[in-house]
Amino acid sequence: MAITATDIKKYLTGATSDGGTQTDPDAALGNYRSATTITDDSDNNMFDDVSGAEASAGDTEYRCIALKNEHGSLELQSAKVFMADSDIGAGNTLSFAVEVPGAGSETNGAAQTIANESTAPTVNSGNVSDWSTATTYSGGVAVNINAHDANLGVGEIIFVWIKRVIGTSAPAANAINFTIRIQGDTAA
């Protein structure tokens, strides 16, 4: 049976071992995949609301999620990551970068870890792409970074860094939403 969207799971990061305990989206700052899946269409499932003070001063925050192929036998071929369905408000921007685990740790490796939500991860280096604002598969970021192939194999994980920039003098906001998607081809 072909891979479906439910075969690719989204998890928080921030655990101390692959599949470890970590349930706080604010602590999803890299390291290992948590056992906590991300619930789509759930308020504050990745970032908190933007307060008036944050909006007035401007604020840049980062989060890291893990995407894992949990299909029993098929890889997601020619996999690319992109952002869809975003509604972030005027003066604000979202971008993302893809990080692949090092060779030999494709199914249980860790992402880089940042000190706090205001610390930028290292991008465009080694196993990490540059920032992207791609909104379609054709413009998406392929997972063939460094030595990783173009497919998301059975049990493999990748990490997606998300950068949320609230512009100076932007209005306070809640219900900012976006969707990180991974798409590819699959055998029947």
Report the residue count for the chain: 188
Pairwise CA distance, residues 112 & 29, whole Å: 8
Pairwise CA distance, residues 25 & 46, whole Å: 5
* Per-residue pLDDT tens digits of the chain, which is 188 residues long: 789 889 999 999 999 999 999 999 999 999 999 999 997 666 667 877 777 777 778 889 999 999 999 999 999 999 999 998 777 777 788 999 999 998 889 999 999 999 999 999 999 999 999 999 999 999 999 999 999 999 999 999 999 999 999 888 877 666 677 889 999 998 87
pLDDT at 67: 97
Name the nearest CA neighbour of 41 among 76, 84, 4, 8. Answer: 84
Pairwise CA distance, residues 74 & 69, whole Å: 9
pLDDT at 42: 62
Complete edge-to-edge strand list for the sheet that includes strand 59-69? 92-99, 157-166, 59-69, 8-15, 30-37, 111-113
Pairwise CA distance, residues 30 & 161, whole Å: 8
The token pair at 161 is 């860094």
Q: Give the max Cα distance, the chain.
A: 52
Name the nearest CA neighbour of 16 among 4, 29, 2, 3. Answer: 29
Give the CA distances from residue 105 to residues 56, 120, 155, 158, 170, in Å, rounded to whole numbers and listed in that order: 42, 23, 11, 11, 41
Tell me how many degrees the CA angle 54-55-56 measures, rounded to the nearest 5: 95
pTM of the shown model: 0.94
